[in-house]
Structure 1
Amino acid sequence: MSSPQTSQPGHPGVTDGRTPLWRGHNVFRVVTFLYACCWVVAQFSQYRRPWLAVLVLVVMGAWTAFTVWRYWRRSGRTNRLVALDVAVVTVLFLSSEFILNDRQMSTGQPSVVTAWHPTMVTASAAQWGAVGGVAAGILAAVCNMLLRGYLDSGIWLDTLLLIGVGLVLGLASDTARRSTDRLARALRTEAATAERERLARSIHDSVLQVLARVRRRGAELGGEAAELARLAGEQEIALRALIATTPQESTEDGEADLAARLQVLRTGRIQVSVPGNPVLLPEPTCSDLHSVVREALANVERHAGADAKAWVLLEELPDEVVLSVRDDGPGIPQGRLEEAAGEGRLGVAKSIRGRVIALGGTITLDTAPGEGTEWEVRVPRPPAPAKRRKGGDR
């Protein structure tokens, strides 16, 4: 049988870290099936219904072959198949009620499936981790008690082993899955960084040089060309900031770096100041705050004038994140926001205030005619998964 090339979704070069557990399960299932065959031969003449023992053994062999084939590749390890596997093994185990005689039951002689029974626990642990492994172990132990109809030291030992195996293999499965996710994430980040560097070299040799030439030549010509030069300079700064920013992915805890996302907004007219360390927030929160800042900057572009500048400041406090967006434009006249909302222009009401309120935060506006505008957003942050060190602004 050829070696499986199971890949983790999201990166074609990452093998599933749980594959060794599944290989071990397959070997264990085959070995325990052969062991069960030996016991059926040894006890065949003592069974109440020998023909039923043979039927159970045939089904066990067919199911073993089928599941080993399916579990060999990751595409075959579906939740539905593992659940069906648990059901089939349980039914075959309980069928011993109609096969073993009273003496075999009372003396604790092996059932027809014997050591093949715990394979339902190993499959559940490999697929569903510690929780699934323990649940399958408890189910297997309860079925064992019901079949025997009594409790003694042997039954309690079987119970301990079934649940213990589910717990140990489940913990190993959880660890392998997390390791696979981390590796896939690291490889995706590495590939994205390499592609970003390749594009940066190409852009530097073409687009950035053209923009720089337009900026210099327009400044020399003056007049309307000077305005084109200014716009080309802003786009040059924005493009340099974009290709210099490391691509960010959500962490395994579903967090994203808000500081890295805000840095991309830096241009010749927009200054961005963020902490030196990553500011990790849940991905939806990070996306909403980024959208709030972009909408505020869009308002500066539309209403503050062509020469207005803006400053974005991000602060990370122990219990909250503070975002400030300030500009040196003419400010917002009193009542203008209410008037705009009445006209159906809901950019501030929905895109800015609505998002902040949905996050459970607060937003304040400080403005006056001729003195610019400043938005301050405060959003509570959930407890960090691990203590993070604070750094200075970068």
Structure 2
Amino acid sequence: MSIRSIRDPAAPLWRGVVVLRVVTWLFALAVAIVHHPGFQRPWLAWLVIGVMAVWSVVSSLAYMRENGRRRWLVIFDLVLTTALLLTSPWILSDAQFANATTPLITTVWAAVAPIAVATRFGARCGVMAGLVVAVSTGVARANVDIDVLRDGVLLCASGLLVGMAATLARSSAETLARALRAEAATAERERLARSIHDGVLQVLARVRRRGLEVGGEAAELAQLAGEQEIALRALVTSEPTRSGDTADLRSALQLLATTSVQVSTPAGTVDLPGHVTEELVAITREALANVEKHAGPGAHAWVLLEDLGGEVVVSVRDDGPGIERGRLERAAAEGRLGVVKSIRGRVADLGGTATLDSAPGRGTEWEVRVPATMRDGR
């Protein structure tokens, strides 16, 4: 199943609107034929029936085409339906109005417009359109009785149900499209990974092993080759980091892995707004840069990502010598605000918290917590 095959997921509902419009117009025609002897203005009744027929053809042809379901057309559909319904006081006689069994000139044909609105705009607008037609029915009859109330409930309920079905169909189709895109991207990454594994990664691995065997300057080249091997492997195995306005923090952090940095992440994606992901990656880079700068060349670091539902936690821990108590306060007093601005300032802008746990001889650990509300971009 290709992505292109997913066009308008509400197309079956639009076909239902077209069929319902034709059937209800035929019903309205039959009602007009039965009741026309009692009309006070039969010519106006047949004019309205004719307009309904023309509009049924025009709207049906438009609704059958995806590019014909314009917003203004659906709104005009509701306006025209209401206007035709309101001509009933000039068509029906007083005796017909007194007889509760005599329907308005549009009869059930008027119920199609709210369903079209619900299909195009969703449940809320469908209910509002149903209310518009229901109120117009009460105005045309100059009376609000149990029949008018019943029709109003049915109109609003149909708009609600059809609107919910249309919204669900569109959201399900979008979910399926994302899954298909992810599947296609995964297949392409696997193909690239196989190609790279058969070539570049094997060469880098061989250079690393040979360099360690030779020693000396070759050992430095071996270390660089090992780092590039890890980075390249993480690149070809990670998920795409962006999808629309969101970015996957898990994939972005995995790219930071090196021979001295181990990254542990959840199995699934951790999608956040793009700017939030960028800030958290920048915070992690800054923490790792501090490890490289202050913990020494032989230090190791561990990055842990946790998705707790209510919040996202990023922890960066190292096995360096740690930070002496009061050192950061003295640095801030001397005007050196690198840690405060680069880490704590960034986290505060995201509405989160940053906690530092360190002591001489037991390394340093940063714990950054960002509330889950950041998933909505707030």
Please report the TM-score for the alignment, with normalisation by the length of structure 2.
Answer: 0.82
Aligned to 2:229: 236
**Aligned counterpart for 1:360 among listed residues 342, 351, 368:** 351
Aligned to 1:4: none
Contact 1:189–1:249 (CA under 8 A) maintained in structure 2: no
| 1:29 positional shift | 0.9
Task: Give the 5 Å matches for 1:23-42.
Answer: 23-42=15-34
Which whole-Å deviations, capped at 9, do the CAs of 1:219-262 have from their partners, x for residues lacking one? Answer: 455444432221121010121123233447769xx987644543
Aligned to 1:105: 97
Aligned to 1:70: 62
| 1:283 positional shift | 3.6
Identical-pair percentage: 52
| 1:383 positional shift | 12
Q: 1:132 to 1:215 in 2, by over 3 A?
A: same
**Aligned counterpart for 1:310 among listed residues 286, 290, 301:** 301
Contact 1:281–1:381 (CA under 8 A) maintained in structure 2: no
Please say which of residues 355-364 and 282-291 is displaced more in the overlay.
282-291
Task: Give the 5 Å matches for 1:245-394.
Answer: 245-247=238-240, 258-275=249-266, 278=268, 280=270, 282-283=272-273, 285-300=276-291, 306-315=297-306, 320-328=311-319, 334=328, 335-336=330-331, 348-366=339-357, 373-381=364-372
| 1:160 positional shift | 2.6
Q: CA RMSD in A?
A: 3.5
**Aligned counterpart for 1:227 among listed residues 192, 210, 220:** 220
Distance 1:338 1:199 in 2: 51
Q: 1:319 to 1:233 in 2, by over 3 A?
A: same
Contact 1:260–1:278 (CA under 8 A) maintained in structure 2: no
Distance 2:342 2:72 in 1: 43
Contact 2:253–2:281 (CA under 8 A) maintained in structure 1: yes
Letter in 1 for 2:159: G
Q: 1:378 to 1:99 in 2, by over 3 A?
A: same
Greater share of residues in helix: 2
Contact 1:296–1:325 (CA under 8 A) maintained in structure 2: yes
Report the secondary structure of 1:12's partner residue: helix
| 1:331 positional shift | 6.4
- Matched length: 368
Aligned to 2:134: 141
Please say which of residues 291-300 and 120-129 is displaced more in the overlay.
291-300
| 1:339 positional shift | 5.9
Aligned to 1:150: 143
1:13 aligns with 2:32: no
Contact 1:255–1:280 (CA under 8 A) maintained in structure 2: no
Distance 1:122 1:338 in 2: 68
Distance 1:361 1:162 in 2: 47
Q: Which runs of 5+ in 2 are unaligned?
A: none
Contact 2:249–2:272 (CA under 8 A) maintained in structure 1: no
| 1:118 positional shift | 0.3
Q: 1:26 to 1:317 in 2, by over 3 A?
A: closer
Aligned to 2:207: 214
Q: 1:319 to 1:113 in 2, by over 3 A?
A: closer
Q: Which runs of 5+ in 1 are unaligned?
A: 1-6, 385-394
Please report the TM-score for the alignment, with normalisation by the length of structure 1.
Answer: 0.79
Letter in 1 for 2:45: A
Q: 1:266 to 1:80 in 2, by over 3 A?
A: farther
Distance 1:49 1:304 in 2: 95
Report the secondary structure of 2:5's partner residue: coil
| 1:308 positional shift | 4.0
Aligned to 2:45: 53
**Aligned counterpart for 1:174 among listed residues 141, 164, 167:** 167
Contact 2:317–2:364 (CA under 8 A) maintained in structure 1: yes
Letter in 1 for 2:11: T
